[in-house]
C-alpha cells in the first residue's frame, strides 16, 4: 500500500528566515542532532552580535538531558540575553529550557502547557553496572532539579516532590510557579530586540541591508 508523503511546512527555509531575525525554534523532541544545531546557532549569533537578543521558541514534548544541559550552558555562557517562549507545549526538557531563559525574559502563550517530571532511564547489566548507572542517574536528577529550583525560586524539596509524577501547569500556573515571568499579552514581547541598529519596535523585523523592495535586485 502506498504511503503518502507530506512536505513539512516548517522547512529549512522557514528556519533560516527566523534565524536571520535571531529566532531559534525547538519543535518536536530534543535530540543530539537538533540540540547541537541549537547550541551552535546560539554561539554563532552571539559571535555575530554580542549585544542583540536571541529568542528561543519552544513547542516540544521533551527529549535529551545531555542536550538540554549543553544548551543551558551555552545560554549562560554567551553575553546575549536569551528570551524563551512556550508556544504550545514545553514538556520535560522543553520546560527546563523554558525556565533557563534570561530572568524577566521568559514567556508563555496564554494557552501553552508546561510539564515537569524527572523523566526515566533504562538501567540494566551486571550488579556493578547497575550501581554505576544508578549513581549517575541520581547525580543527573539532583543536578537538573537543583537548576529548576534555582530558576523558579522554589525550594529544592518542593521541586523534587512535584517532579515525582507528571505535573502539568497552565500558563498562569507556570507563571505562579516561576517557570516563566510573563504570559504573553502583546506581539512586542516575543520579538528579539536589535539593539545594534537602534531600531524602534516598528523596525524590529528589518535586517541589515533591507532597504525596501528591489534593494538586492529582487522583484
Q: Mind telling me the catalytic residues?
A: 92, 117
The pTM of the full predicted model, rounded to 2 decimals, is 0.80
* Sequential pLDDT tens for the chain (219 residues): 444 555 666 778 888 999 999 999 999 999 999 999 999 999 999 999 999 999 999 999 999 999 999 999 999 999 999 999 999 999 999 999 999 999 999 999 999 999 999 765 544 445 545 555 566 788 899 999 999 999 999 999 999 999 999 999 999 999 999 999 999 999 988 887 665 443 333 333 334 344 443 444 443
CB 198, CB 174: distance < 8 Å:
no
Residue 135 is predicted with a pLDDT of: 67
CA distance 156 to 144: 10
What pLDDT score was predicted for residue 10?
75
pLDDT reported for residue 9: 67
DSSP states of 39-85: HHHHHHHHHH-SSS-EEEEEEE--B-HHHHHHHHHHHHHSSS-EEEE
Amino acid at each position: 500500500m502506498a504511503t503518502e508523503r507530506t512536505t513539512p511546512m516548517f522547512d529549512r527555509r522557514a528556519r533560516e528566515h527566523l534565524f536571520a531575525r535571531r529566532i531559534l525554534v525547538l519543535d518536536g523532541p530534543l535530540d543530539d542532532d537538533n540540540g547541537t544545531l541549537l547550541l551552535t546557532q546560539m554561539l554563532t549569533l552571539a559571535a555575530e552580535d554580542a549585544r542583540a537578543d536571541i529568542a528561543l521558541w519552544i513547542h516540544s514534548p521533551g527529549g535529551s538531558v545531555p542536550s538540554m544541559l549543553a544548551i543551558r550552558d551555552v545560554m549562560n555562557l554567551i553575553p546575549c540575553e536569551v528570551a524563551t517562549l512556550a508556544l504550545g507545549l514545553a514538556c520535560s526538557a522543553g520546560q527546563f529550557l523554558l525556565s533557563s531563559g534570561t530572568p524577566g525574559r521568559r514567556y508563555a502563550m496564554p494557552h501553552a502547557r508546561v510539564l515537569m517530571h524527572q523523566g526515566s532511564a533504562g538501567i540494566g547489566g551486571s550488579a556493578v553496572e547497575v550501581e554505576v548507572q544508578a549513581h549517575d542517574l541520581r547525580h543527573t536528577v539532583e543536578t537538573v532539579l537543583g537548576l529548576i529550583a534555582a530558576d523558579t525560586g522554589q525550594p529544592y524539596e518542593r521541586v523534587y516532590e512535584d517532579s515525582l509524577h507528571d505535573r502539568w501547569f497552565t500558563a498562569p500556573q507556570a507563571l505562579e510557579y516561576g517557570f516563566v515571568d510573563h504570559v504573553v499579552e502583546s506581539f512586542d514581547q516575543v520579538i528579539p530586540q536589535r539593539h545594534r541598529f537602534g531600531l524602534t519596535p516598528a523596525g524590529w523585523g528589518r535586517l541589515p541591508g533591507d532597504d525596501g523592495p528591489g534593494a538586492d535586485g529582487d522583484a
